[in-house]
Structure 1
Amino acid sequence: MNKILHFAFLLFGMTVFAQNLIPGQLDPTFQIGTGFEDGMDALAVQPDGKILVAGQGDTYQGVPFNRIIRLNADGSPDPTFTGMGNLLIYENYNEIALQPDRKILTISHYTNDVNSTTLYYHFKRLNTDGSLDTTFNAGGTGVVETPTSWISNMVVQPDGKIIIVGQFAQYNGVASKNIARLNADGTLDTSFVVGSGFNSSVYSLCMQPDGKVLVSGSFSSYNGSSVNGFTRLNADGTKDTTFTPASSTAVGKMGIQSNGNIVANAAYTINGVNKDGIVILNPNGTVITSNGTLPELTGATNERFLDFVVQPDDKIIAVGYFSQYGGVTIRHILRLTANGFLDNTFNPGSPGAMVQAIAAYPNNRYVISGLFTRYQSQSMNYIARINGLSGIQTPSGNTSQTICGSGTLASLAVTGQGITWYNAATEGNQLSSATPLVNGTTYYASQTISNNESATRLAVTVTLSTQSTPVFTPIGPICSGDSSQTLPTTSTNGVTGTWSPTFSTTTTRAYTFTPAAGQCATTATMTVTVNNNLTPTFTQIAAICPGADLVLPTMSNNGFSGTWSPAVNNTATTTYGFTPDSGQCARTASMTVVVNTATTPTFTPVSAICSGATLSALPTTSSNGIPGTWAPALNNLETTTYTFTPATGQCASTATMTITVNPNATPAFTQVSAICSGGTLSALPVDSNNGINGTWSPALNNLETTTYTFTPAAGQCATTATMTITVNPNATPAFTQVSAICSGGALSALPVDSNNGINGTWSPALNNTA
């Protein structure tokens, strides 16, 4: 049967008890009085130290209870636990487990009547007061209770979920062959996928710290894969393919040691020999053989282990029905070393009958129950609490200790009470604490408490070392105030320690190094010289004009290198700070470089000119006496801005002058109409339509067509203009001669248009008489 091995007792507030008592001895603070009247099969320890006990008994200290009871830490019954009132008359509990909320899971079996051998199984949950929890899997059918359908074992995960195993085909009507995981409320957890499950019964479970689950039983396959009665599942229910136990290993109860090794109550084969007992397996399931051949049950063939726990030190306390182990007579309870061999420091005496269950209890104690009525010659009806870890523990200390120079056994650092030194691990001769130490020798220390000496001794191998002198790289000289230098706390040859007096960055001092305790070294001294800081000197830079070259020296007149800040500025007077390079005993320095204000050259403005007019050269010396040059070249065709650049060596700024070049306008006139030769020709206007004054040439000529040129008067931006006046020649009208008439004859009016198209009039009036 699988029991819960470890509990988190972090909240348990009891005083630490029974340190350095003999392992296996009874815990005298657990007083059960008359105890139970019949055997008890199952145990569980609550985080508060109270103990749940269940089995065949139904009275405790003479008071009836209903097959399950809760005891206080001192062994008295807990009156707040009323128990389940509707337990079947022939029902006994097989397993108890606690959920994180302290509700109680139980597996029990019952028969229909006292004479029946047909067993039925119950799986239910009790409230913390022992009453039936009707909310657990409410409305569900769970595992149908029949003689061939049962739950054999369970384990509770840290999150409260429950893994159950046994022989069943379904849970709540859902197929789940011989294994299932339930939610904390008892409903089926469908995220735990078991596939076709196990093909035969499962008997035992063990939850590993990583969430994987060890499973054992009579099965030969899991979800279609061959597993031979012992396997490991991942947290999601899949088979862990890294787990490869030998096919000949048949496993019952299981547990985990701190290094991940698996402790199992098993029938196994090693080197061709069949064995039956506690075996230590590697994390992958293979038998560890490096420790040698482990002992096994050597009594009657029906003897067996029923339960065990793994102690915090990985030792194993096993209980059951047995009389010999490895040929040594030992009854019903024993302790094995972490490697699986009998631990002779465990002295439980001989319980009078089988021990069926064991559970870990706070402060290295363990609760056992079963069919025994005595323990170590004391009446203990069916339950007891015993001490677990080593009674008189081996004193503690480093097993290799180095002593500086010379010393005695009193020089060795060992923690314990009543320390006694020996020259051998067992037996041997006692040694005085004044015994001089010999280099390379191993000495052995035990401790004695209340006249009980520890069973084992601490082996201490001594090395006598020669004192070394700490060696340091000299410091300095340093500059006053240099905080970058410190005295090293570890010498170049590895000695750690402290210096005195306090390190000074302003005064030359001698310092003493004192090695830290535990090192074989002498003191050492070092003198650190502190030099005063000097001020860098520089030749003052003369005032400069704006924009002139400015370079600050990176080396002072007295030999200090460094840098200046801020960046050089040749346009404004600036004070610069000089910071010496590190490693020089120098202060900062400063220099102010004056940048004189620049004079602006002034000039008499040049009047605007007409495009193309003569433009005299610009003056090369300003009105305020600054010589320089102009750019660009003079241009008398368009308005241009000229820049004056002072000659070098003068604190003067540039200046500009814009010379306006006005464009020349073209005079515009109203065209004079053509005239007839000799016609009147008025004088041409001396002012153009667009206001330009001037004169015309040549003189007017009304006899022939002539082109006249207009020349603008001086001082006007205008071009010449021309006008051609057309003088048409005079034509002679031609008429058809009127024939002679007789005096007084009819005379038609003369035509007003000549044959060649000239219109006009005739005079005098017609006279047809003369």
Structure 2
Amino acid sequence: MKRLTLKTIWHVTVIFMVAVTSCSKDIALGTDPYAGGKGSLGIGFYADYAEPGIAKPGELVDFYVKGIKPFLGNIDFSINDTKVEVVAAKDSLVTIRVPEEISSGNAKIIVDGQVFYGPRLEIEGDASLDENYGIVNGFRSSVYDILPNAGGFIVTGAFYDFENESVDKKVFRNGIHFIGVDGKTSSAMDKFGEGATGGTINSITKMTDGKFILGGGFGIYNKRAVNNITRINADGSIDSMVVDVINTTTNPKNSFDTVSTFNGGLLGGSAIKVFGVSDNKVLAIGNFQAHYKIDYTYSSRTNKRLIYTEAKHVIRMKADGSLDSAFALKNLGANGRITNAALIDNDRVVVIGTFTTYNGKQAPGIVCLKSDGSVDPSFNLTGTIDRIISISYNTQLKKIAIAGVFKGLGASGKVNGVALINTDGSVDEQFVLQNIGTGIPVYAQVLNNGRVVVNGTIETYNNIRRSNLLILENDGSLLQRYNSQAPFAGVINKIVETKSSLGLPALLVGGSIYQYGKKNVGNFFRLEIKD
């Protein structure tokens, strides 16, 4: 049975909210005879398609409708709940003009208070699914991290299958998998074995020696006992060594044991993020309370002597897994939960969560720690912060993006919901999220070209019906050409910039995601963006 974590519960809650707000009125030909308690007017779309089925803003589109003649002067026509101009109307044909600001969705006619649903109209734009990408079914359950490597991508998460490839006791896709640039399983990295059986891998980072650190909520990696963190080789196998142990039997083979070379574990909670820092050391962030290592001098193959050290929330470990005493130990940590973190410049890390203090100092759900683990006082956000839900970092532009429930950030006090922050802690006030009504942003990321991807429970942007996935300009404005698709159902956890099958700019998007436009996606897809 899969482990149920707070992260999972949060995602399920937000996914439900996102799915509810993103659901378009799917094709349901016919009438609603119960609206207002009135009888049917005899109106209905008698063709389940528009002509053409794909159109650009400004173009004319025909819909085939019956019974409309008596009401020709009283037609309220919309696409995806956006009112459109009726250019011509006959008894069996309605011609509309696609407005300049609109997203794909179903047609709807309102006559005399009654609603009649029609076929979907696709709005052509410059952001769309890469139709030539190899993924069909995707991952079974959530994707948490994506790491480019060896011409492909290592994907981690809570999933237990990919493309229906798992075979009981033979083929495993547990929490970690490697895919090529074509979206298909690749043999370039295929020694994951059984992976993180029954657990989740929240984060992966590549170290300077070419090996990888995995962090999450898992107790087994490919049949070997670990505790929420381990190191794997370039082929995906666990990095192991043979050690001498106490032999309590007559079998000479029990004088040795094969163990992880990374001798460190986390207790009391999972690792949310892991990062490689200077000198091949590892930074781990999460809700754990202690670190342990195994003293093999006093251990046997079946019984291990553990050495515990209190270490809360953010710790640094040496390459062998032992605690780094030069980093803050036995600190108070956060007075709430850690939900995410981003490594920025000079080995500093910005941590977010449901806390109000860190190490006894005021921290409104966000804190920046220096390379020695101490709080960086210069990184100090002001404003009304109820909850910061996500954080990401663009290493090329050196921009932090946060999303959540907050307002009044920056010197102007105009930054709400999504904020771009410089590494010195100042708010980039060029970007201002515009009117999203009652929506809540849950994810934001700055792209290398300066645009900002925003995901949340968003129904409208500047009073125009949109999806829960927005691609905004660096000032927060929205261009129609990049936002023509709807709906989007899900929560994004990670975005990686890449190329499409045609060599155009594209995004690999992973998370707890079920739908983009009219297509179902299995928590992972590639979005092509034409510049």
Give the TM-score category using the shorter length. Answer: 0.5 to 0.7
Q: CA shift at 1:28, angstroms?
A: 4.3
The CA distance in 2 between the partners of 1:243 and 1:386, in whole Å, is 34
Matching residue within 141, 144, 147 for 1:42: 144
Q: 1:71·1:77 contact (CA, 8 Å) conserved in 2? A: yes
Q: CA shift at 1:180, angstroms?
A: 0.5
The number of residues matched between the two structures is 356
Q: What is the TM-score of this pair, normalised by structure 1? A: 0.41
Q: 1:44·1:359 contact (CA, 8 Å) conserved in 2? A: yes
SS of equivalent to 2:345: coil
Q: CA shift at 1:195, angstroms?
A: 5.9
Aligned to 1:143: 266
Q: CA shift at 1:156, angstroms?
A: 2.8
Q: 1:38·1:371 contact (CA, 8 Å) conserved in 2? A: no
Q: CA shift at 1:107, angstroms?
A: 3.2
The CA distance in 2 between the partners of 1:159 and 1:27, in whole Å, is 40
The CA distance in 1 between the partners of 2:400 and 2:514, in whole Å, is 32
Question: Which digits, 9 at most, give the CA deviation of each residue in 1:136-164, with x for residues without a partner?
Answer: 974745212x4xx3322233336543221
State the AA in 2 paired with 1:26.
L
The CA distance in 2 between the partners of 1:159 and 1:380, in whole Å, is 40
Q: Does the alignment pair 1:266 with 2:373? A: no
Matches within 5 A, 1:345-744: 345-347=481-483, 349-350=485-486, 352-363=488-499, 364-378=505-519, 380-388=521-529, 391-392=530-531
| Alpha-carbon distance change, 140 to 211 in structure 1, aligned in 2, over 3 angstroms | closer
Q: Does the alignment pair 1:129 with 2:235? A: yes
The CA distance in 1 between the partners of 2:428 and 2:488, in whole Å, is 34
The CA distance in 1 between the partners of 2:457 and 2:191, in whole Å, is 29
Matching residue within 170, 177, 191 for 2:290: 170
Aligned to 1:461: none
The CA distance in 2 between the partners of 1:323 and 1:133, in whole Å, is 47
The CA distance in 2 between the partners of 1:71 and 1:333, in whole Å, is 25
The CA distance in 2 between the partners of 1:283 and 1:36, in whole Å, is 35
SS of equivalent to 1:46: strand
Aligned to 2:40: none
Q: CA shift at 1:278, angstroms?
A: 1.4
Question: Which digits, 9 at most, give the CA deviation of each residue in 1:387-406, with x for residues without a partner?
Answer: 34xx24xxxxxxxxxxxxxx
Aligned to 1:242: 378
The CA distance in 2 between the partners of 1:308 and 1:329, in whole Å, is 19
The CA distance in 1 between the partners of 2:436 and 2:477, in whole Å, is 12
State the AA in 2 paired with 1:77.
T
Q: CA shift at 1:57, angstroms?
A: 3.9
Q: Does the alignment pair 1:213 with 2:349? A: yes
Q: Does the alignment pair 1:179 with 2:285? A: no
SS of equivalent to 2:265: coil
Q: CA shift at 1:50, angstroms?
A: 0.7
| Alpha-carbon distance change, 191 to 180 in structure 1, aligned in 2, over 3 angstroms | same
Aligned to 1:295: 434
The CA distance in 1 between the partners of 2:507 and 2:430, in whole Å, is 30
| Alpha-carbon distance change, 23 to 157 in structure 1, aligned in 2, over 3 angstroms | farther
The CA distance in 2 between the partners of 1:106 and 1:208, in whole Å, is 19
SS of equivalent to 2:127: coil
Q: 2:239·2:261 contact (CA, 8 Å) conserved in 1? A: no
Q: CA shift at 1:377, angstroms?
A: 3.3
RCO (CA 8 Å, sep 6+): is it higher in 1 or 2? Answer: 2
SS of equivalent to 2:371: coil
The CA distance in 2 between the partners of 1:259 and 1:330, in whole Å, is 28
The CA distance in 2 between the partners of 1:103 and 1:242, in whole Å, is 34
Q: CA shift at 1:240, angstroms?
A: 1.8
Gaps of 5+ in 2: 1-6, 8-123, 167-171, 221-225, 242-258, 293-307, 500-504
Aligned to 2:364: 228
The CA distance in 1 between the partners of 2:165 and 2:260, in whole Å, is 33
Q: 1:251·1:266 contact (CA, 8 Å) conserved in 2? A: yes
State the AA in 1 paired with 2:357.
S
| Percent of aligned pairs with the same amino acid | 19
Q: CA shift at 1:338, angstroms?
A: 1.9
Q: CA shift at 1:29, angstroms?
A: 4.5
Aligned to 1:93: 201
The CA distance in 1 between the partners of 2:273 and 2:391, in whole Å, is 12
Q: CA shift at 1:208, angstroms?
A: 1.7
Aligned to 2:333: 198
Aligned to 1:155: 275
SS of equivalent to 1:357: strand
CA RMSD of aligned residues (A): 3.7
Aligned to 1:58: 160
Question: Which digits, 9 at most, give the CA deviation of each residue in 1:234-278, with x for residues without a partner?
Answer: 222222222221163343322446665532113223189998621
The CA distance in 2 between the partners of 1:51 and 1:179, in whole Å, is 27
The CA distance in 2 between the partners of 1:346 and 1:199, in whole Å, is 39
Aligned to 1:279: 419
The CA distance in 1 between the partners of 2:457 and 2:279, in whole Å, is 35
The CA distance in 2 between the partners of 1:335 and 1:202, in whole Å, is 28
The CA distance in 2 between the partners of 1:28 and 1:209, in whole Å, is 37
Instruction: Decide which structure has greater helix share.
Output: 2
Matching residue within 128, 138, 141 for 1:25: 128
| Alpha-carbon distance change, 37 to 226 in structure 1, aligned in 2, over 3 angstroms | closer
Matching residue within 337, 357, 371 for 2:473: 337
The CA distance in 2 between the partners of 1:90 and 1:156, in whole Å, is 26
State the AA in 2 paired with 1:142.
G
Question: Which digits, 9 at most, give the CA deviation of each residue in 1:306-329, with x for residues without a partner?
Answer: x44321122222345544455443
Q: CA shift at 1:179, angstroms?
A: 0.8
| Alpha-carbon distance change, 86 to 335 in structure 1, aligned in 2, over 3 angstroms | same
| Alpha-carbon distance change, 349 to 101 in structure 1, aligned in 2, over 3 angstroms | farther
Q: CA shift at 1:337, angstroms?
A: 1.9
The CA distance in 2 between the partners of 1:81 and 1:255, in whole Å, is 27
Matching residue within 63, 69, 75 for 2:177: 69
The CA distance in 2 between the partners of 1:124 and 1:377, in whole Å, is 40
| Alpha-carbon distance change, 36 to 275 in structure 1, aligned in 2, over 3 angstroms | same
